[in-house]
Amino acid sequence: MMCINLYTSRIVLHTLGIEDYGIFNVVGGVIIILGFMNDSMTASTQRFLSFELGTGNKGRLHDIFITSLHIHLIIAIIIIAIGETIGLWFVVKEMVIPPERMTAALWCYQFSLFIAILDVLSYPYISAIIAHEKMSSFAYIAILDAILKLLLVYLLLMFDYDRLILYAALYAGEKLLIRMVYNIYCVSHFEECKYRWIFKKEIFVEMASFAGWKMWSNLAYVFYTQGLNVLLNLFFGPAVNAARAAAVQAQGAVSNLASNFQLAINPQITKTYASRQLKRTHLLIYKSSRLTFCLLLTVCLPLIVETPQILSLWLKEVPNGSVIFLRILLVILMVQQYYSPLATAVAATGRIKKYEMIVSGLMLTVMPVSYFVLKMGGAPWSVFIAYLCIVTLAYIANLFIVLPMLKLRFIKYIIYAVKPCATVLFLSLLVPLGMKILATPCLTTSLLNILLTVISTATLSYIFGLDTEERLLISRKVKEITRFCVKHIKK
């Protein structure tokens, strides 16, 4: 998926051009801003489904799924109402879009609104797949999604029509097909996904209350992603949006790698807490933090070190500013994903009021701080530096809030989660820094540096980032794959 998405982004940027690519991303970003309510409800659905699977109450499991469907339908109606009024006004009156591209931008906006509604109505089914830990099925559908997006790009090249409008329309059609696949799979595999009318007020209130507090974090997410995108548009125009979009596409491809890995662990964290296996919950937090960090570092470090060369190989035309944007965004990604297991654990407890007020309150300051920085004459990349500083403060706040709630001692968290990652990070920096100092800059040197950095980081992660059980598991899997390959080569 990461490879397909990166290649697709390259072709789309080249086909649409920098200006239309920037318009597509910033107009779609307005719709994403409207969807912050849906994101909070999705988190609520995943938590409640995983919790009930942990307790084994199948009757309540069905009630929760149907209730989530009803709430998501209400959210979809609200998004349509706001999108066709306030959102449409903002695109027409406030956004910096060339007059000759306004018609195409408005068509793109309407298709983006349709896509958002499809996503809203898909999330209960996606949550059911994740809660049941059917990760192979989730992966197959996600890979199908990526392949269809790739085919969509080639269809874009076959027709002589306004490509911004055509791309938005084809993208909407692809999303509709994936929505149908999720629906069919869940109804045929999970009993609770078969619809029959029920309304349980107490479940509705419980899920809505949880979602209400999660809304703070999702509102913060919308502000520090799409809000910053709109802010950059207002100060610098579509060209900077294209640069940010290219960097975000690369960051997103790496982020999906880590997020999908964590999706396999998150239901277990919730289920073990629901069954009162606190030691097992602590162990999963350590493992998730370490493994996610090592996985991300192996991918991110060579990208950060050789960003100019990688972007020039990936994109036919690299938008100005993409290099520094991507470097900062990758560091931000590593910090955010590192404390993601703590956020999952606090959601499992259901006691999220204090957490959301403090941590999400911190993240909500990204937008106003960035606006202040830009008003003072800051460069476009300065908003991401502000973002990084606030993310780091949010991680520190996580430690002081979440660890006591889980009865997890601070010193144990440092020893089993932080120390191994810090060791891997420090030692991994030696190879790329040595190459930068000693080698002559050229394409061959950059490719060699990437290869050596990946190998050295993966090796150091294996030695210092994993425990004995994890190393044995990986060794066994590598031997199985090697035997499988040798066997088929001989045939």
Q: How much is the pLDDT for 179?
A: 84
Note the pLDDT tens digit of each residue in 122-148.
Answer: 888 888 887 777 778 878 888 888 888
User: Which residues have CB under 8 Å from 238's CB, separation 6+?
Assistant: 18, 19, 22, 23, 26, 96, 97, 98
Same domain as 161, residue 215: yes
**Rounded Cα distance, 115 and 186, in Å:** 20
Span 250-262, pLDDT tens digits: 887 788 777 777 7
pLDDT in tens, 372-381: 998 888 888 8
Residues 356 and 484 occupy one common structural domain: no
The pLDDT score that the predictor gives to residue 488 is: 67
Residue 30: predicted pLDDT: 62
Whether pLDDT at 457 is above 90: yes
Same domain, 174 and 261: yes
Q: Is the pLDDT of residue 213 over 70?
A: no
**How does residue 389 score in pLDDT terms, banded at 50, 70 and 90?**
very high
Co-location of 146 and 186 in the same domain: yes
Q: Are residue 410 and residue 481 in the same domain, yes or no?
A: no
| Of 147-156, 277-286, 364-373, the least confident | 147-156
Are residues 170 and 253 part of one domain? yes
| pLDDT over 90 at 426, yes or no | yes
- Same domain, yes or no, for 334 and 474? no
pLDDT at 42: 65
436 & 315 share domain:
no
Mean pLDDT computed over 269-274: 80
Q: Is the pLDDT of residue 171 over 60?
A: yes
Which of the four pLDDT bands, split at 50, 70 and 90, describes residue 454? Answer: very high
Position 427 pLDDT exceeds 90? yes
Instruction: Return the pLDDT at 301.
Output: 92
332 and 477 part of one domain: no
Domain boundary among 390, 406, 428: 428
pLDDT of the residue at 39: 59
SS (H, E, C) the chain: CHHHHHHHHHHHHHHHHHHHHHHHHHHHHHHHHHCHHHHHHHHHHHHHHHHHHHHCCHHHHHHHHHHHHHHHHHHHHHHHHHHHHHHHHHHHHCCCCCHHHHHHHHHHHHHHHHHHHHHHHHHHHHHHHHHCCCHHHHHHHHHHHHHHHHHHHHHHHHCCCCHHHHHHHHHHHHHHHHHHHHHHHHHHHCHHHCCCCCCCHHHHHHHHHHHHHHHHHHHHHHHHHHHHHHHHHHHHCHHHHHHHHHHHHHHHHHHHHHHHHHHHHHHHHHHHHHCCCHHHHHHHHHHHHHHHHHHHHHHHHHHHHCHHHHHHHHCCCCCCCHHHHHHHHHHHHHHHHHCHHHHHHHHHHCCCHHHHHHHHHHHCCHHHHHHHHHHCCCCCCHHHHHHHHHHHHHHHHHHHHHHHHCCCCHHHHHHHHHHHHHHHHHHHCHHHHHHHHHCCCCHHHHHHHHHHHHHHHHHHHHHHHCCHHHHHHHHHHHHHHHHHHHHHHHC
- pLDDT tens by residue, 302-339: 989 888 888 887 776 777 788 888 899 999 999 988 88
Check whether 43 has a pLDDT greater than 80: no
483 and 338 inside one domain: no
357 plus 454 within the same structural domain: no
- Position 413 scores a pLDDT of 92
Averaged confidence pLDDT in the chain: 81
- Would you state the pLDDT for residue 215? 67
pLDDT tens-digit map of 45-96: 777 777 777 766 677 777 888 888 888 888 888 888 887 887 778 777 777 7
Has residue 164 got a pLDDT over 70?
Answer: yes
Burial of 144 (0-12, 13-18, 19+ CB in 10 A): middle
Instruction: State the average pLDDT over residues 5-21.
Output: 73
Domain boundary among 394, 428, 462: 428
Choosing from 400, 428, 456, the residue where a domain stops is: 428
* pLDDT at res. 275: 76
The better pLDDT of the pair 379, 194 is held by 379
Q: What is the pLDDT of residue 107?
A: 85
The pLDDT-based confidence of 32 (bands split at 50, 70, 90) is: low
Statement: residue 10 has pLDDT above 80: no
Distance CA 73, CA 78 (A): 9
Provide the domain count of the chain: 2
Q: Which domain holds residue 464?
A: 429-491
Q: What is the pLDDT of residue 11?
A: 75
74-84 tens-digit pLDDT: 888 888 888 78
- Looking at the predicted structure, is the pLDDT value of residue 383 above 60? yes
- pLDDT for 490: 66
Higher pLDDT, 301 or 171: 301
* Cut 0.75: pTM above it: no
Kindly state whether residues 441 and 423 are assigned to the same domain. no
Question: What band does 385 get if pLDDT is binned at 50, 70 and 90?
Answer: very high
